[in-house]
Amino acid sequence: MFKFVSAAPPESVHVLRDPSSGLDGVIVLHSTRRGPAAGGCRLWSYSSSTEAAKDAARLAEGMAYKNALADLPLGGGKAVLRLPPGPFDRRSLFQAFGREVAKLQGSYVTAEDVGTTVSDMQIASGTCRHVAGLTAVQGRPGGDPSPWTALGVFISMQEAVRRKFGADLKGMTVAVQGLGSVGSHLCGLLHGAGVKLVVAEPRSDVVARVACRYEATIVGLDAILDTKCEIFAPCALGAVIDEHAVKRLRARIVCGGANNVLATDEDGYRLADRGVLYAPDYVVNAGGIINVAAEYLGWNTEEAEMRVRQTGQRLTDVLDFADRKGLASHHAANDLARQRITASQPGWKMEVV
């Protein structure tokens, strides 16, 4: 297998400082070749501004790849805000954040991410119009993106089992790690398709409810990796597939909603070397960003759903490319995304309705 070494430098970095509201962060635009750089706003505790900027650069690059492979007319960017050390006024913080996003004149589109909520984005939208992930308006895309993310993952699983086993999902066993918004929606879809579910989740009320509803077997948080199953679906944390996990895993396919599933690039090669089909995370979990894009670009729900339903074909394209070039799937996804970004013509016009 060839090895992949990251990464292109970002197009621009914008430092955000507003001492009166406590705003301290950065917006990184990795690429605007395909369109406005879209990616959420993370509010998290960082030990230094450098740590925050590094994380933003990594996440912005990931968004550029995800948006390119989802065929969205969007580039990739990310805002990372440092969580103020003491009490702070959330309204002032997100108003100040909105003003900073507005200064970028539509080259960056924000939305919620880890540590931020729909209501934070509603506040930011009071000072800036380049905000998505707002409360859904009747009959239009918007609101909670997780059902769309789950649908894209489900369709990708159908594609992956066809490819790996020449079969459909009925009768297969899927081990789902994490029953939050994406994991529980995914369990509903899998149950409907006749799949046997094994689940792990630290919240006992949630795991009991899902197990009851979808006839799932509950296992401990650590035991989910050793579960005898065809598919392992990480829907909680990142970096769950590391060297140790690859050795324990009994599944033949890894396909889930979580971001940054591979602890390191090496782990993608380890999976490939063991014959495990890894469905690259940002290819299969793009349903959420498709919903956000639809909201921002003014597409209707049918258009959004049609695009989410194409996720399986997009996975096939990546896996075919990997086979043709003799690459591990995560490497193939990165290469294809870079090709798409490089091939796009800069000079887009915003199509905001």
Apex CA 292: angle with CA 207 and CA 36, to 5°? 140
Q: What angle do CA 57, 70, 66 make, to 5 degrees?
A: 15
Q: Compare residues 1 and 221 and give the one whose CB is closer to ligand NAD.
A: 221
Residues within window 288-347 making contact with ligand NAD, judged by CB under 6 A: 288
Query: Binding of ligand NAD at residue 67 (CB under 6 A)?
Result: no
What gap in Å lies between CA 304 and CA 321, rounded to an integer?
25
**CB of 308: closest distance to ligand NAD in angstroms?**
11
Q: Which of 249, 293, 297, 286 is nearest to 271 (CA)?
A: 249
Which stretches within 235-310 are classed as H helix? 243-248, 265-273, 281-284, 287-297, 301-309
66 noted as active-site residue: no
From 81, 120, 125, select the one nearest 99 (Cα to Cα): 125
Distance CA 204, CA 225 (A): 19
| Binder among 67, 149, 329, 334 for ligand NAD (CB under 6 A) | 149
Candidates 183, 268, 280, 312: give the one binding ligand NAD (CB under 6 A): 183
Reading the block at residue 153, the tokens are 């993952």
Cβ-closest residue to ligand NAD? 180
Q: Which of 21, 95, 146, 156 binds ligand NAD (CB under 6 A)?
A: 146
Binding to ligand NAD in span 219-248, by CB under 6 A: 221, 235-238
Q: How far is the CB of 346 from ligand NAD (least distance, A)?
A: 27
Q: Which stretch binds ligand NAD (CB under 6 A): 5-13, 155-163, 254-262, 314-322?
A: 254-262
DSSP 212: H
Is 181 one of the binding residues for ligand NAD (CB under 6 A)?
A: yes
- Nearer CB in complex with ligand NAD: 22/312: 312
Counting contacts by CB under 6 A, is residue 255 touching ligand NAD?
Answer: no
Q: How far is CA 101 from CA 25, 63, 81, 250, 317, in A?
A: 12, 17, 12, 45, 35
Instruction: Provide the minimum distance between the beta carbon of 2 and ligand NAD in the complex, in angstroms, as a whole number.
Output: 27
- Pick the catalytic residue from 3, 54, 66, 78: 78
Please give the C-alpha separations between residue 211 and each of 29, 218, 227, 273, in angstroms, as whole numbers: 42, 7, 16, 34
Cβ burial of 129 (10 Å; 0-12, 13-18, 19+) is middle
Q: Which is nearer to ligand NAD, 137 or 237 (CB)?
A: 237
In the complex with ligand NAD, the residue whose CB is nearer, 35 or 133, is: 133
Q: Where do contacts with ligand NAD occur on this chain (CB under 6 A)?
A: 145-146, 149, 177-183, 200-203, 206, 221, 235-238, 257-259, 285, 288
| Catalytic residue IDs | 78
